[in-house]
Every structure is written in C-alpha cells, then in structure tokens.
Amino acid sequence: MESPNDTKNEEPVTGFRIRSGPTYAFALVVFALVAAGVSLHAQTVRMGADTPPRPGAVDTTVTITVEALKPGVYAAKISYVWTGWVELGDGILVIDTGFSEAGARALADTIRARSGPQPIRYVVNTHQHEDHTGGDRYFATLGATFIAQEKVAGEIQHLLTWAPGETGDSLSHSGLTPTVKKISLRASYGGTKRPVRVIHLGRPAHTAGDLVVYLPKQGVLFAGDLVSNRSVPWLLDPDMSVNGWLQSLDSLLTPAFKIETLVPGHGVLGKPQASIQFTYHYLLDVREKASTVAAWGTKLNQIRDWGYLGAYEGLEFYEEVHFMNMRRLYNEAKGIKTPGRKNMHVFKRT
C-alpha cells in the first residue's frame, strides 16, 4: 500500500431532517435483494413515509441510488448529492458523506452491504459545504481519517470538534478526536490494484479548496461540485471564482486525466466531456448575462425579469439557485464585493 503523501507540492495539473426508520432496515433490504438474486448494478432504495410530501414542502425522505462503476468502485447518490467509495484492499475510502447523520448511517449500511465489513479508513471531503460534509461526524465514530484541502480544512476540523446542541450526538458521546489531514496539491492512497489520487487543481473554483478524486487505472473521476450535470451549480461561496472554475474544468479536459466515468457533485451521471461542458457553459452563460444587464444599467430588483436563462429552466436547482447566482455576478460586474453565503446548501423542494 502506498503511504499517503499530503505534503507533496507539485505543479497543478493545469438542515435536512430525515424521516426514516432504523438504519439497519436499509441493510436488510439490500441483503434481501442480494439473496433474491436481484441485480444491484443500479439500485435505488427509498427511505421514509410512503405518502408524498405536501406541495412546496421540503422533501425529507432519503433515497440512495447506487452505481457500481468498476470492481470495488461505487457511486452513491443520497437524495440529490453524489457520494461514493473505493475498496482499497485494507479498508474503504469514502468520497463525501451527504447532508445528515441519518443519511450517513444509511450510506454506511450501503457500503457494508456491498463491500462487506471493511473498516472505513478515509473520508475525502471534496469541499466544505454542508450537503457534502453533513455526515462527517457519524463517519468519525467509525474511525475514519478525514482528508481536506488545506484552505478549507479548518472548517472541516471545526465541524468535527463542535458538539451540536445541549445533548450532543454520537461523536460527542464517543470521546473520539477525529484526525483531519491537510492536502496542498495532491496525495495518493491505495495500492497498485486500485490507486487513488486526491488532487487540488491549484486555484479557487467552486470554493477555495476543491478536491477531485481520480482513479487512473479505472478511469473514474469523482469531481465534487466542480461539475454539476443537468443541475444548476452553486456560485455563492465567498471564495468562488468563475475564472478559476473555468480553468479547473479546462484542466480536467487535458490528457493528464483519462476519464471514462465522471461522478458529479449534483445532477445525473453522463458522458464525462458533456458533463464538464454543461458546467462550463452555464458559468459562461450566467456571467455573460449578468455582465450585459449590469452594463445596461438594469436595476438589481428586476432580477426575475432579466435573469431568465431558458436553456436551464426546469433543471434541478434552477428556481432555488439560478437567480441568486445572477445577483452575485451582477454585483461583481458592478464592482460590488459581496460576502457570498458561507457553508450553506440548498433545500430541495417538491
């Protein structure tokens, strides 16, 4: 097994509330499907009430969709957030943990059902936003070491050491002190069979410290929120940079990455180049529209009139996020510095 190296500074490669039953029930469902001989290549398990939520209400039901990408490599979509895991040989490396402890418990059950009782060695946080780190505290109770880019590692550390509420949670009661390993540009995990490269592309993009997880032998890339496919990206982090984001996407299209399968942070699985180009074109389109109307002198309070982008209407998070993105980039075009919205995520409504 290769030793993790989180200090190698090479040049850059160019509150949900979950309404669910006990989590052990999820594992029983999966094992029952296996016993029955049901194909588990792409499996969706829905946890929660059978009755649909009221119109306009926050959907608190958890669904987990699992995709077997390659032997020992899995993607798992927890409601609207993509996560995944890799079998290293002596344990499991998890990529992101979803938005809640309940979802994380269900993800851990899923991992055990697919990969057996292997220890959780590492959790890679592709960035610090709560919809991707909300399950970290539960995975800490399983003994995981956390991996984060150095510019956002402090926020991950705070999440893991802050005890929520008066009664605490499973981590605060465990007495464990989780370890967070900081990566500057890259680190390596796994052995020769399934090597894993954790890479920062060298510039701020979606956040100041985005990581991608690349398996060169398998041709699999977990892109985190650098890529959203058929889902409107979140451009509201205080350190978000459209230019850096576009350059990072350009890096993913270079020969340094031979990607056969790309797992985005949000949206749907698709062809890697098309997924990257979707995010790329949205960034260009929204910036151009915001800059144009700002130059016209259009009032910011008319955002619903001039902020429309028909090519993206109806896609995931268009209503929740797109017009906030336009407001942010309008202000930037006007030379107005905005604080952004630190460490927030979207509640998906039905």
Residue pLDDT, tens place only, 176-212: 999 999 999 999 999 999 999 999 999 999 999 999 9
pLDDT at 22 over 80: no
Q: How confident is the model at residue 170 (pLDDT cuts 50, 70, 90)?
A: confident
User: How confident is the model at residue 10, as a pLDDT?
Assistant: 40
Query: Residue 303 falls within a domain, yes or no?
Result: yes
Answer whether residue 347 is part of any domain: no
The DSSP 8-state label assigned to residue 184 in this structure reads S
> Mean pLDDT over residues 131-140, rounded?
97
Flag whether 344 is in a domain. no
C-alpha distances (whole Å) from 47 to each of 20, 25, 55, 62, 102 are 5, 9, 19, 5, 10
Structural domain includes residue 217:
yes
pLDDT recorded at residue 349: 47
- Overall domain count for the chain: 1
Q: What is the pTM for the complete model shown?
A: 0.83
Assess contact for 307 and 325: CB atoms under 8 A.
no
The CATH number of whichever domain residue 51 belongs to comes to 3.60.15.10
Return the residue matching tokens 């987990």: 64
pLDDT in tens, 33-72: 333 333 344 555 443 434 444 444 555 678 899 999 999 9
pLDDT for residue 318 is more than 50: yes
- The pLDDT confidence band at residue 271, using thresholds 50, 70 and 90, is very high
- pLDDT exceeds cutoff 70 at 127: yes
DSSP 116: -
Residue 237 located in a structural domain: yes
What pLDDT score does 59 carry?
A: 56
Instruction: Give the domain range for residue 67.
Output: 24-333
Q: Give the chain's mean pLDDT.
A: 85
Beta bridge partners, 77, equal: 65, 82
- What's the rounded mean pLDDT across residues 21-36? 36
Q: Is residue 36 part of a domain?
A: yes
Can you tell me the mean pLDDT for 277-306? 94
pLDDT at 265: 98
d(CA 280, CA 316): 16
The answer to whether residue 304 is domain-embedded is yes
How confident is the model at residue 164, as a pLDDT? Answer: 72
Three-point CA angle 307, 266, 33, nearest 5°: 145
Please state at what angle helix 24-35 crosses helix 101-115, rounded to 10 degrees. Answer: 30
Whether the pLDDT of residue 317 is over 70: the answer is yes
- Give the 3-state secondary structure of 224-241: EEEEEECECCCCCCCCCC
Report phi then psi at 32, rounded to 5. Answer: -65, -40
Quote the pLDDT of residue 309. Answer: 96
